[in-house]
Amino acid sequence: MPRDYLKKATLTAQSHATEVHDTVKTILSDIETGGDAKALEYAAKFDKFDGNVLMTQDEIDAAIALVPEKLKADIRFAHDNVRRFAETQKATVSDVQTEIVPGVVAGQKAIPVDAAGCYVPGGRYSHIASAIMTVTTAKVAGCRHITACSPPRPGEGVAPAIVYAAHICGADSILAMGGVQGVAAMTFGLFGLPRANILVGPGNQFVAEAKRILYGKVGIDMIAGPTDSLILADSSADAHVVATDLVSQAEHGYNSPVWLVTDDRALAQKVMDLVPQLIDDLPELNKENAAAAWRDYAEVIVCDNREDMAACSDEYAPEHLTVQAEDLDWWLDRLTCYGSLFLGEETTVSYGDKATGTNHVLPTSGAASYTGGLSVHKYMKIVTWQRATREGSKPIAVATARISRLEGMEGHARAADVRLAKYFPDEQFDLTADG
């Protein structure tokens, strides 16, 4: 039986892509040409903030003093978890070398990028956790300079809790600037900052598009769209918990898709009945976002069995994937396309978003089919090196010369020829392409 869509999305993440692209491209071009002054002009227009954009230590200290001790403790707890997980990840990559053939040694080195630009959303919501996720991983990776950039609020500046989180996680500079202008400032090295080698962190559609356009000029963590979440649930799932988790992710934004995939029609219907009630109980701003996301982007899909559920999930390749079903080990072994996986009712995407230690900067819009999320590895260049003795280089040179001539690349071939002639003047070699 084909999959049954009890609810189908009417919009996609690409529905307004063209107008966003044109706007962002213009802003980036203006700032690249106009430098600090043009960035400040856009900041005044969009951030509506006339304070100091590169925070001084006194300003950082003053902001930190405003953060309640209980919140500081929670931030330190989350930071410690993210740091420990990042350190574990880093330990999986090491410098190695191996003797390819006698006398020829090739190796790998992991080198952190020099400067990282970490974007921390701070407009609609103050994403304290994004400061923890992005800055901590850059610090563990070994980046020499880390800039945390976050939108200031008019008359207030960057949210004090974001300042505290960025500071304790290791940010070297904190830039009070949001949106495209903030991304541009880090990319082009404005206000005395080093040019970022990589831009990381979540953001709205304008920030995401700025990163997309700048990719190549600067590295990015990934090309991202609106956050998305999928729940796989069978008849053992608690409909109220499932509905609550869907709503918790829909509140991210009006265009944040949430999907339920199940083999239990009764569960699906119960969840659909519960979601509007749960949305209606949210605070006004959260309600507005969640209601729009559920109305326009959410889907509820009924499948024949768990294999079809897993196949459906892999096709969507969700950013966040939750399994609330029996036999969790089966799902862990079977599922292949997701940004981060949450197994069982006892954990939830919200845990990963805030405090578990795994990163919440994850691939969206199906990108989980080919990439994972932000990790310490994203800030590291895996480079290679080689060294050879003269005797060891002999078979390499012969093979290189022949392959190069077969390809028509005579210059490459002669780079091998000249070494054979210098190192082994008394030997004859067949270096022709036809053998």
pTM of the prediction?
0.92
SS3 3: coil
Question: Taking 70 as the threshold, does the pLDDT of residue 435 lie above it?
Answer: no
- The mean per-residue pLDDT over the stretch 237-259 comes to 96
- Say whether pLDDT at 286 is over 60: yes
Q: What is the pLDDT of residues 141-200, one digit of tens each?
A: 999 999 999 999 998 999 999 999 999 999 999 999 999 999 999 999 999 999 999 999
- Which residues does the annotation mark as catalytic? 319-320
Nearest to 7 by CA among 246, 213, 226: 246
Q: Provide, rounded to the nearest whole percent, the portion of the chain with pLDDT above 70.
A: 98
**Is the separation of the CB atoms in 119 and 134 below 8 Å?**
yes
Whether residue 8 is predicted with pLDDT greater than 70 in this model: the reply is: yes
Residue 184 phi, psi dihedral angles, 5° rounding: -65, -40
Q: Are 185 and 34 in contact (CB under 8 A)?
A: no
* pLDDT tens per residue, range 355-398: 999 999 999 999 999 999 999 999 999 999 999 999 999 999 99
Is the sign of the CA dihedral 208, 209, 214, 215 positive or negative? positive
Judged by DSSP in three states, 212 sits in helix
Domains and CATH numbers, the chain: 17-95+112-221 (3.40.50.1980), 226-372 (3.40.50.1980)
| 3-class DSSP state of 233 | strand
Task: Find out whether 129 and 354 touch, Cβ atoms under 8 Å.
Answer: yes
Q: How high is the pLDDT of residue 433?
A: 76
